[in-house]
Amino acid sequence: MPEPVHTTSCRVLYGDTDAAGIVYYANYLRYFERGRTEYMRDLALTSYREIEGQGLVLPVIECYSRYKAPAAYDDLLTIETSLAELKNVSCRFNYRIYRKDGDGSRTMLAKGYTVHASVDRNGRLTRLPPQLLVTLKQNITVHI
C-alpha cells in the first residue's frame, strides 16, 4: 500500500453496537471521523478546533462506505486514513477499517471516503489556508 497512510486504533464500545450485537452501520462514519481527526493532528497541522478558530470549517459534503464484514463489541479496530485528493476549496480522505483477529491476522470490515468543502462561517466556499495546502500536498496518496 502506498504511503503515507495514517493508522489509528480503537475498541468497539458497547454503545456502538445495535440490537444484533454488531456495529451499527452509521458508526463507521464516526470511525472515519476519528481516523481523519487523528491524521490531521499527527501531521502536526493543527486540531479541527484551531482550524475553526481561523474561521474555517470543513463540512462533509459527500460520503461513501462499503461494508465487507461486521465488527462486534470489544473488537480492536485499525483505521487507515489517507488524503486522496486536494483542491483549493475541497479535499477527499479515503479510509479502510480492519479488525485485529485472534490469530494476529486482520479482516477488512469497511472502506470508504469523505469529501470536505472549505467554507467560512457564513457557509461560503473559501480557499484552504496556504500553509495547510502545502502540508497536505506533501501527504497525498490513494488507497481504497
Q: Which residues are catalytic?
A: 18
A 10 A CB-CB count for 97 gives 27
A 10 A CB-CB count for 60 gives 14
Instruction: Give the integer Cα–Cα distance in Å for 10 and 13.
Output: 9
Specify the residue for cell string 470489544: 74
Please give the backbone phi and psi of residue 6, each rounded to the nearest 5 degrees, phi first: -90, 140
